[in-house]
Every structure is written in structure tokens, then in C-alpha cells.
Amino acid sequence: MQNLKEKIQRREAVVGVMGLGYVGLPLVATFAESGFATVGFDRDVAKIDALRQGKSYIRHVPSERMRSLLRPVAPEVGHPGFYPTGEYPLLARCDAVLICVPTPLTANREPDLSYVVGTTEVIAQHIRAGQLVVLESTTYPGTTEEVLQPILERGGLRVGRDFHLAFSPEREDPNNTAYTTRTIPKLVGGMTPECGEVAAALYRAVIDRVIPVSHARVAEAAKLLENIYRSVNIALVNELKMLFDRMEIDVWEVIDAAATKPFGFTPFYPGPGLGGHCIPIDPFYLTWRARQYELTTRFIELAGEINQGMPAYVVEKLADALNSQGRSLKDARILVLGVAYKRDLDDDRESPALKLMELLQRKQARCVYHDPYIPVLKRSRRYDFQLQSVPLTVEELRAADAVLIATDHSGFDYEMIVRESRLVVDTRNATKGVSVGRENIVRA
């Protein structure tokens, strides 16, 4: 199997990426740009059709970039490029297969590995000796060994003897212009030392810095630690926000003041809840796993409780603000600004704005929203709003009983929003620099 490392060094290895979403698409582009023949697999026909037309469906991955890499037929050795497909028999032509599929939670907040299992079973149908398989999807420690390995070995091939298996956690931060797939350091842990070496060699061919660890379990645990660290610290400032609000202290000013200390402090910022594909989900993979070892991860679970409770806190603040103006939340028209989980992003996965809208509708408020990056709210695993973004006009602002800033997109004209609105409930400190109409602003 040493031959695979040599093929990687000569840029003769064909790389396959399973799942062309926010992780897989930038990854496949990075390999193709680095001179590898690359095949992108996805079961979503609409995605494949769009990519074959040179159209990207992810805002921070420009269509021009994908179009320059596109090849009309499956790439061959010596002819680098990107070929999107739903034809899984092409997996047999790949020397390395990277799995980048979702790992959500079930309704009972337990790990849902159905995408990982389904994808691995497809790979197992086409696996051959000498291949490398790497899981990038975030999951609990032991998944690579206990879930992937048995499926891949069903046909008689063995990890470490016939093929390589490793875990290398994705660390994508969509729309972060300071870091790219190439410049974000990459952790790699193999099921055997040689598996780790081969996987590290593959990523070194396209990533500036690769950090090998002793085993796949270490890499799996490290990714969870990264996101749990953020979840716990965000929960801390969210709890302090609620306390300081009662004490009539501006939590944002407090954080800015504390951040002047040049050591021993890292600023985290409060919000209306957690969003995205990592922080609201990943910590619960470890709490579930911990119960199998008869341990309760109280710190992690408490942080989850605080963060999950923030949308209800915001709705309560909104109701109180309306009451102070002699209006009821029932039948009030609420204009929600921003439904993406993050500023200037076209991704609403686990966005706290969706939970806010659900809570408002339960209280019989009339919700509309504006988001320049998400023109239509599509049906998801948890929500079915069937709404379209309304234009952000003076007429819409004046028609709303309250404007709720859930996502602080940089393109919003906050001066106009505050000036033309009867009430603005700001969950992101977006109106900090507004000079007019500040008596209409409520921080939440």
C-alpha cells in the first residue's frame, strides 16, 4: 500500500469527496486547484445539475471558481479538475475517498449517524485494496473504529492491511475571509500508524499545516473539545447578559472592557441562541457518549440548557417591550431581520432566528422576515415556515409593530431601521453606533 503515498506525491491519486455541502465543496475545489483529479459525489440531483452548469449554491464558494475547475467527464490522472456526479460506481476509480456528510441530532438529542452509515455502506460496495477512506464529519470518539471499520471490512478487506482508514475533522468557518480550507491547520488520526501517515500525506499535498495525532479517537475528541469550548463560553456570556440586564449594565461594554487585558481572557459574545452545523449539535455527541461510560457531563449539559433558553428570553424581552408601548404580542406584526445563523452567510441551519419565529407564532404573533442571503425559507427537519423574504423598505419597517434583529448582516442600514421603526429589539448589538431614535431600541 506504500504505492498510494507515491501517487499522492506525484499528484496521480484520484480524490473522491462524498457530500458537496459547506464542507465538501470547498474541499473538492482545494484538491482540484492543487492538481488532483477530483470527483465530487452527492445524492442531491439539483446540486449536481447546478455544478455541471458551473453554478455554485454556496455564496462564499464563487461560481467562477467552480466553473474554472469543472471537467465534462470524470477526471483522469494527469488531467486535474472537478467532476460532480451521483454515479457511485466511480468510487472504485478513486484512490482516496473523503466523507463530508451531516451528523445531526435526533428529536431526542441523540447522534444521528444515518448519513455516515449510508455513505459508508455505499463506499463498501465499491472499495478496493489500496484505497484511503477518511471521515471528516464531526462525531463522537470511536465512530471511525466502531461504525465505519466493520462496514468497510464486510467484504474481506482489512484496515491497515488492505486499505487505510482515518479521521480528519473538518474545521470550516464559512465566510471567514481570514482562513481558507488550505490555511486552516488539519488534524489527522489514523486507525493504524501507517493509515495516519498516508492520510497526512494526502492533506499535506493541499493544506499548509497538517498535525498528526496518535489515533482517530484523539482527532474525534479534539474536534468536540473545540466546539464544546465555544459552547460553554458562549453560555457564560449569555447568562451574564441576562444578569447584567437586570443590573442595568451593558454586557457588550463589559466584554470590551475585559478584552483589553492582554492575557488570560478571550472575548465571547452573547446572542439570541446558537446556530450552525457544529456548536448547537456537537457537544451532545459527547454527552451521549459519556452516558455509555456511566458519566454525566453536567458542565456541557448546563451550557446547552442556557444556550437553548436564549430564544425564549428574547421573546420575553420583546413581549415586555411591546407591553410598555401599550401593545400585545398577540396579533403583532414582527419583522425578523436576518435568518442566517451567522452574519453575511447564506446558511440557516440551526439558526436561532428560526426558533424565535416558531416561539412568536406560538404566541400568535404575525412573523415576516428579511434576509438578503436567504430569499426563501425552505422546509427543514424541524421547521416548515414556507415564507419568502420581504423587501427591507420604509413601508415594511413602519408596518411592523416591532423589528427583531436576529442576525447582524453588515449590509443592513441600521440608521434607517431604527429611524423608521416603532420598536427595535436588538439581539446582536448591531445598533451600537446608531445616533438617532435610540429610545426605540431594546437590547435582548
Q: Are residues 25 and 60 in the same domain?
A: yes
| 162 & 271 share domain | no
Q: Which of 94, 100, 195, 278 is catalytic?
A: 278
- The answer to whether the CB of 197 falls within 8 A of the CB of 165 is no
In degrees and rounded to multiples of 5, residue 280 shows phi and psi of -70, -15
Phi-psi label, residue 68: left if phi above 0, alpha if psi -120 to 50, beta otherwise: alpha
Assess if residue 222 is contained within a domain.
no
Please return the burial class of 45, using the count of CB atoms within 10 Å of its CB with bins 0-12, 13-18 and 19+.
Answer: exposed
278 is a catalytic site residue? yes
**Together in a domain, 316 and 385:** yes
Return the C-alpha cell found at 297.
Answer: 457531563
**Domain shared by 413 and 298, yes or no:** yes
Could you list the residue range(s) of the whole structural domain that residue 10 is in? 2-213
> Which CATH number belongs to the domain containing residue 190 in this structure?
3.40.50.720
Indicate if 297 and 386 belong to the same structural domain: yes
Q: Give the closest residue to 82 by CA, choosing from 57, 54, 107, 103.
A: 54
Same domain flag for 240 and 200 = no
In a domain, 264, yes or no: yes
**At which of 213, 246, 266 does a domain end?**
213
Q: Are residues 252 and 158 in the same domain?
A: no
At residue 65's C-alpha, the angle toward residues 200 and 4, to 5°, is 25
Q: Is residue 220 part of a domain?
A: no
Residue 223 lies in a domain: no
How many domains are contained in the chain? 2
Considering only CA atoms, give the Rg of the chain.
24
* Domain co-membership, 203 together with 266: no
The Cβ of residue 309 has, within 10 Å, a number of other Cβ atoms equal to 15
Q: Are residues 196 and 341 in the same domain?
A: no
In a domain, 302, yes or no: yes
Predicted confidence pLDDT, tens digits, the chain (444 residues): 558 999 999 999 999 999 999 999 999 999 999 999 999 999 999 999 999 999 999 988 999 999 999 998 877 767 789 999 999 999 999 999 999 999 999 988 899 999 999 999 999 999 999 999 999 999 999 999 999 999 999 999 999 999 999 999 999 888 888 999 999 999 999 999 999 999 999 999 999 999 999 999 999 999 999 999 999 999 999 999 999 999 999 999 999 999 999 999 999 999 999 998 888 999 999 999 999 999 999 999 999 999 999 999 999 999 999 999 999 999 999 999 999 999 999 999 999 999 999 999 999 999 999 999 999 998 777 788 889 999 999 999 999 999 999 999 999 999 999 999 999 999 999 999 898 878 899 999
Nearest to 13, CA basis, from 68, 90, 78, 83: 78
Of 183, 213, 243, the position where a domain reaches its end is: 213
